[in-house]
Structure formats: structure tokens, C-alpha cells
Amino acid sequence: SHRTSGNQRRYGRDVLRRVAIIRIAQEVGITLAEIGVALESLPEGRTPTREDWNLLSTAWRDSLDQKISQLKKLRDGLTDCIGCGCMSIDKCPLRNKGDRLAGEGTG
């Protein structure tokens, strides 16, 4: 970056594009750690291209698909748990399926 005579900081196009990528990625749930790793793969000082964006977003899509799948499982488990009615996480047959020893008492 450089400063103008009015002491305003001016950034190059490559920096502004990277900031835009960071903001978009954060908005869809990509962690700063994941973003940092991805940006390290780009050449320093070059404005990221459409091809760069395609590579980054494709990798992030896979990560987001995994997160969505995990969240759906959590949501469905919560729905099942609410429907069970036992109101006990420790004794819930849906949460602790196959607990053969539960019928014999605690500990």
C-alpha cells in the first residue's frame, strides 16, 4: 500500500481482491484458518484470477458439503430426541442406542 498526499492509504488491486475473497469465504462459513491455507497457495503480489477463485471455491464447496451433512445429522438427531419424550440425555435410547447394560442399573 501507499499513502496519498492527504494521508489516505491506497491498496493494490491484488490486496483488494484477496480481501474480497476473505469476506465472501467468511460469510459462507469458511474459517480464517482454512482461508489462510488457501490464500497461501496463490502467488504473492498477483491479483487472484477467476481460475484461482474457481479452485478455491471448489475446495471450499467440499468442506461446506461435509459441514452441511454433519449439521443435518445433528438436526435430525435433535428432532428424534424431541419426539422420544424421555427428556434425559443420559438415558435416551436414541442417543445411546444399543446400551445393553442400562437395564441393569447405573455404574
73-94 tens-digit pLDDT = 888 877 766 666 666 666 666 6
- pLDDT score, position 100: 65
Residue 36 lies inside a defined structural domain of this protein: yes
- pLDDT score, position 96: 63
Residue 107 lies inside a defined structural domain of this protein: no
In this prediction, the residues of the chain whose per-residue pLDDT falls under 50 are: none
- pLDDT score, position 5: 85
- Residue 10 pairs in a beta bridge with 2
- The parent domain of residue 54 ranges over 2-97
Extract the C-alpha cell encoding 87: 427428556
Residue 105 lies inside a defined structural domain of this protein: no
- pLDDT score, position 7: 85
Residue 102 lies inside a defined structural domain of this protein: no
- pLDDT score, position 107: 55
- Residue 3 pairs in a beta bridge with 9
In this structure, how many other beta carbons lie within 10 angstroms of the beta carbon of residue 80? 12
What predicted TM-score, i.e. pTM, was given to this entire model?
A: 0.62
Residue 47 lies inside a defined structural domain of this protein: yes
- One DSSP character per residue, 65-85 reads HHHHHHHHHHHHHHHHHHHH-
Q: What total number of domains does the chain contain?
A: 1
